[in-house]
């Protein structure tokens, strides 16, 4: 007897009336939000039985309807991607005093080794083997910070996917942990200059990093002194250090406003002092050199940021003096301050560049590359007294290259080029940068990757990826994964929609809060441009986005379901109105500047309700949809995609596949191991191929 196919689960409807600003609405799937969600984040087994039953039913349905039938294709794609990765691979050592610190990956292993060698040569010491620490469970490696005297290693791990980290202290002379731990931290560690302890951040009851404590080695966590505490639930707190090591920095920020507090390392027991009090929508961060602060800021209308200086002894904004003036359209993304040089990473017309200034004579020169689209990054390492900075370069066709840049001579030294063991010839691929005309006339960049043999005649399938939030830009970088679609004839397209900062800070402002819907219409315009210019076939565009990009997926599925062959929504932020109306959730108060506050503002309530993917589900046909979630995700809680799929299931009028897969032991980033993550990508790509008839 042939087994009947498993029917898709239908979630129970339970009446739940909500009234805001005089508007009453019913949310029949509200029960999927566990009342004990904070407990679930750290102990997934405490999830209420009725919720677990529904989520596991969705997982079982997905396994039978798609995952098992497509297991062979998924495994093939996984093997392809894994074959492009050099499994036994080392990073590039960063010198610090007598040692050079590095990380290595071993063949067949999921997690890195944290290692060091004597700076002048000698045997390598494995300080931490994350594979041995991980075991068989989820293992979210947070950080590993060596002490200034190089005797100890503070390392942090999250074992639930909930982003609660336990900090361990390892004695590097013995290679074993001391047994001293800090639990339920945010995972960041900044050592005291004498190595007698460290600063760390901890969460409030809503999983918001809000407090900095000072821990002295050998004392219990309960004795740790509170150094700083932020009362406003809309702000997050972080801890760091200037590269000069003159100051410990406490950064307080939401998505649009920041302030910095300093602790002199010569007096590390002193109270922090304020640089300049927060001012709505003013951002700044600091570095130090020779008693002056170098401040990257958007103050005084510098929308694309400028660099100012101030005396470290009296750094209030009244004393800020322009060093690098604001130039509209030249977005300063980051700065590094070294003993003799200021290096800034800028973006102009969507392409990055490095600009180097010599403090001694104010001479400036620029580092840029010639490809049509590429990504560029920089890192400073541990040392301040150096004339070398590390830069990384790649493009969709060119594997990652790492250089040391000599700031005195301009010479680039290639340290490493990403190996693709299965072979890769950049000449076999084409990278293009084209533009879509948005509904209001804005020009939306689209980065394309396809095989040179792919016909651009309106017959190819395409995957269109987007994000568009928080000012985060999508780099035009090399991806070993994307090649599995491209080699099967896909055009891989990235839509740089508003909400990111690809075209400057104004590009971000035009895709947040009051203008959020620009992100959605930009993405739709990008899809229409792919069709109009022959890069994609009608009915063969698969859309993909994750987190805030998952909101984008939900919105475009509601607005233009006809455009998509399928939609991949990874940990999708789709229940926007309810989440932004729940101030107990970890990210809600800090997110109000990004989306609006529907609790206080009727205008914000109405605006969000008009686009929120969950609210706007209607009785219409929808494309095939795969939603991926994590049970212990504190950023996009598991119930958002669960509610979305439950409502879609009974609302849509088509017979297209609708799947929800929830990782029962992982959070926002999915599986923790590098190969397990590849399996998730392979599964997503198998879904994309099935949507266009290639599975």
- Sheet of strand 140-146: strand arrangement: 140-146, 152-158, 165-171, 176-191, 197-203, 209-216, 225-229
Tell me which of 663, 668, 684, 690 is the catalytic residue. 668
Residue 110's pLDDT is what?
A: 85
Give the span between the Cα atoms of 590 and 621, in whole angstroms. Answer: 35
- Straight-line distance from the first to the last Cα atom of the chain, in angstroms, rounded to the nearest whole number: 27
Give the span between the Cα atoms of 639 and 643, in whole angstroms. Answer: 6
The pair phi, psi for residue 268, each rounded to 5°, is -70, -10
Give the span between the Cα atoms of 578 and 598, in whole angstroms. Answer: 9
Q: What stretches in the chain show pLDDT beneath 70?
A: 1-5, 666-673
The pair phi, psi for residue 690, each rounded to 5°, is -65, -30
* 3-state secondary structure (DSSP) of residue 350: coil
Residue 179's pLDDT is what?
A: 95
Tokens 């509170």 sit on residue:
226
Q: Whole-model pTM?
A: 0.89
Burial of 557 (0-12, 13-18, 19+ CB in 10 A): buried
Q: Is 547 a catalytic residue?
A: yes
Do residues 677 and 671 touch, judged by C-beta distance below 8 A?
A: yes
Question: Buried b / exposed e across 631-651, counting CB within 10 Å, b at 16+?
Answer: bbbbbbbbbbbbbbbbbbbee
Do residues 259 and 252 touch, judged by C-beta distance below 8 A?
A: yes
Residue 137's pLDDT is what?
A: 76
Give the span between the Cα atoms of 678 and 663, in whole angstroms. Answer: 15
- Nearest in space to 579 (alpha carbons), one of 9, 33, 92, 3: 33
Q: What is the pLDDT of residues 116-134, one digit of tens each?
A: 999 988 999 999 999 999 8
Residue 510's pLDDT is what?
A: 97
- Interstrand relation of 247-253 and 258-264 (parallel, antiparallel or unpaired): antiparallel
- Nearest in space to 55 (alpha carbons), one of 13, 16, 11: 11
Supply the mean pLDDT for the chain.
Answer: 94
Query: Tokens in use for 102?
Result: 């590095």
* 3-state secondary structure (DSSP) of residue 492: strand
Domains with residue ranges and CATH for the chain:
15-83+573-689 (3.40.50.1820), 88-135 (no CATH)
Of all helices (H) and strands (E), which one includes residue 678?
Answer: helix 674-691
Give the span between the Cα atoms of 638 and 499, in whole angstroms. Answer: 24
Do residues 213 and 203 touch, judged by C-beta distance below 8 A?
A: no
Do residues 628 and 661 touch, judged by C-beta distance below 8 A?
A: yes
Region of residue 281 (phi > 0: left; psi between -120 and 50: alpha; otherwise: beta): left
Tell me which of 375, 547, 684, 690 is the catalytic residue. 547
Burial of 35 (0-12, 13-18, 19+ CB in 10 A): exposed
Give the span between the Cα atoms of 1 and 516, in whole angstroms. Answer: 53
Beta-strand (E) ranges in 23-149?
23-26, 89-90, 94-96, 99-105, 113-118, 125-129, 140-146
Give the span between the Cα atoms of 582 and 323, in whole angstroms. Answer: 43
- Nearest in space to 138 (alpha carbons), one of 110, 168, 179: 110
Tell me which of 633, 663, 684, 690 is the catalytic residue. 633
Give the span between the Cα atoms of 409 and 387, in whole angstroms. Answer: 9
Helix count and strand count (H, E) for the chain: 13, 38
Give the span between the Cα atoms of 436 and 348, in whole angstroms. Answer: 18
Tokens 């895709």 sit on residue:
511
- Nearest in space to 449 (alpha carbons), one of 501, 528, 395: 395
Give the span between the Cα atoms of 668 and 162, in whole angstroms. Answer: 8
Residue 2's pLDDT is what?
A: 44
Q: Is 668 a catalytic residue?
A: yes
Instruction: Compute how many other C-beta atoms are within 10 angstroms of the C-beta atom of residue 655.
Output: 7
Instruction: Compute how many other C-beta atoms are within 10 angstroms of the C-beta atom of residue 120.
Output: 8
Burial of 495 (0-12, 13-18, 19+ CB in 10 A): buried
Alpha helices (H) in 28-109, listed in sequence order: 37-42, 49-62, 71-83
Give the span between the Cα atoms of 300 and 639, in whole angstroms. Answer: 42
What 3 state SS string does 580-612 have?
A: HCCCCCCCHHHHHHHHCCCCCCHHHHHHHHHHC
Give the span between the Cα atoms of 533 and 521, in whole angstroms. Answer: 18
* 3-state secondary structure (DSSP) of residue 272: coil
Residue 666's pLDDT is what?
A: 61
Do residues 476 and 373 touch, judged by C-beta distance below 8 A?
A: yes
Contacts of 601 (CB under 8 A, 6+ apart): none
Contacts of 1 (CB under 8 A, 6+ apart): none
Q: What is the DSSP string of 420-485?
A: -TT---GGGEEEEEEEEE-TTS-EEEEEEEEETTS--SS---EEEEE---TT--------TTTHHH
- Nearest in space to 607 (alpha carbons), one of 21, 167, 216: 21
* 3-state secondary structure (DSSP) of residue 31: helix
């Amino acid at each position: 007897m042939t087994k009947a196919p498993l029917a898709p689960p239908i979630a129970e409807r339970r009446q739940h009336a909500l009234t805001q600003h005089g508007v009453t609405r019913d949310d029949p799937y509200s029960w999927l939000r566990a009342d004990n969600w904070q407990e679930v984040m750290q102990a997934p087994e405490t999830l209420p039985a009725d919720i677990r039953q529904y989520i596991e039913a969705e997982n079982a349905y997905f396994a039978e309807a798609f995952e098992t039938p497509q297991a062979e294709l998924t495994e093939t794609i996984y093997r392809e991607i894994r074959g492009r990765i050099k499994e036994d691979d080392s990073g590039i050592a960063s010198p610090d005093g007598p040692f050079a610190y590095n990380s290595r990956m071993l063949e067949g292993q999921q997690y890195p080794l944290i290692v060091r060698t004597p700076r002048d040569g000698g045997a390598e010491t494995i300080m931490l083997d994350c594979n041995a620490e991980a075991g068989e469970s989820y293992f979210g490696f947070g950080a590993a910070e060596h002490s200034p005297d190089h005797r100890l290693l503070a390392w942090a791990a999250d074992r639930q996917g909930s982003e609660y980290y336990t900090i361990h202290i390892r004695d590097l002379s013995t290679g074993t942990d001391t047994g001293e731990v800090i639990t339920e931290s945010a995972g960041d560690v900044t050592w005291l200059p004498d190595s007698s302890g460290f600063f760390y951040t901890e969460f409030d009851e809503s999983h918001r990093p809000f407090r900095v404590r000072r821990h002295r080695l050998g004392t219990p966590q309960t004795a740790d002194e509170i150094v700083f505490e932020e009362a406003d639930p809309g702000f997050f707190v972080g801890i760091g250090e200037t590269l000069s090591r003159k100051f410990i920095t406490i950064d307080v920020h939401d998505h649009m406003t920041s302030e910095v507090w300093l602790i002199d390392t010569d007096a590390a027991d002193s109270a922090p002092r304020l640089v300049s009090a927060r001012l709505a929508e003013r951002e700044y961060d600091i570095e130090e050199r020779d008693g002056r602060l170098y401040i990257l800021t958007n103050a005084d209308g510098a929308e694309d940021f400028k660099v100012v200086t101030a005396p470290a002894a009296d750094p209030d904004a009244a004393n800020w003096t322009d060093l690098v003036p604001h130039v509209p359209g030249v977005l300063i993304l980051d700065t590094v301050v070294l003993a003799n040089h200021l290096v800034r990473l800028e973006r102009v017309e969507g392409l990055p560049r490095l600009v180097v200034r010599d403090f001694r004579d104010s001479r400036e020169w620029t580092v840029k590359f010639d490809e049509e689209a590429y990504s560029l990054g920089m890192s400073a390492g541990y040392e301040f007294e150096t004339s070398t900075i590390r830069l990384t370069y790649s493009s969709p066709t060119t594997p990652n290259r790492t250089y040391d840049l000599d700031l005195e001579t301009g010479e680039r030294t290639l340290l490493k080029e990403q190996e693709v063991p299965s072979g890769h010839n950049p000449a076999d691929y084409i990278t293009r940068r084209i533009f879509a005309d948005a509904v209001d006339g804005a020009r939306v960049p689209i980065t394309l990757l396809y095989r040179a043999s792919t016909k651009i005649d309106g017959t190819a399938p395409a995957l269109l990826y987007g994000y568009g939030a928080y000012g985060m830009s999508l780099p035009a970088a090399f991806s070993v994964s994307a090649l599995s679609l491209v080699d099967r004839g896909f055009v891989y397209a990235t839509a740089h929609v508003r909400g990111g900062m690809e075209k400057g800070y104004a590009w971000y402002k035009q895709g947040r809060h009051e203008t959020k819907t620009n992100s959605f219409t930009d993405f739709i315009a990008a899809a229409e441009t792919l069709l109009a210019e022959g890069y994609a076939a009608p009915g063969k565009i698969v859309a993909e986005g994750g987190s805030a990009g998952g909101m984008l997926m939900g919105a475009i599925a509601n607005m233009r379901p006809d455009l998509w062959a399928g939609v991949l929504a990874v940990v999708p932020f789709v229940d926007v109105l309810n989440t932004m109306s729940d101030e107990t959730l970890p990210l809600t108060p800090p997110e109000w500047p990004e989306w609006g506050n529907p609790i206080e503002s009727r205008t914000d309530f109405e605006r969000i309700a008009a686009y929120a993917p969950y609210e706007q589900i209607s009785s219409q046909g929808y494309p095939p949809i795969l939603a991926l979630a994590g049970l212990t995700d504190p950023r996009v809680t598991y119930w958002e995609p669960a509610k979305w799929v439950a409502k879609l299931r009974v609302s849509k009028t088509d017979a297209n596949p609708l799947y929800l897969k929830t990782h029962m032991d992982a959070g926002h980033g999915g599986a923790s191991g590098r190969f397990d993550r590849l399996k998730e990508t392979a599964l997503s790509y198998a879904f994309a191929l099935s949507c266009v008839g290639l599975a």
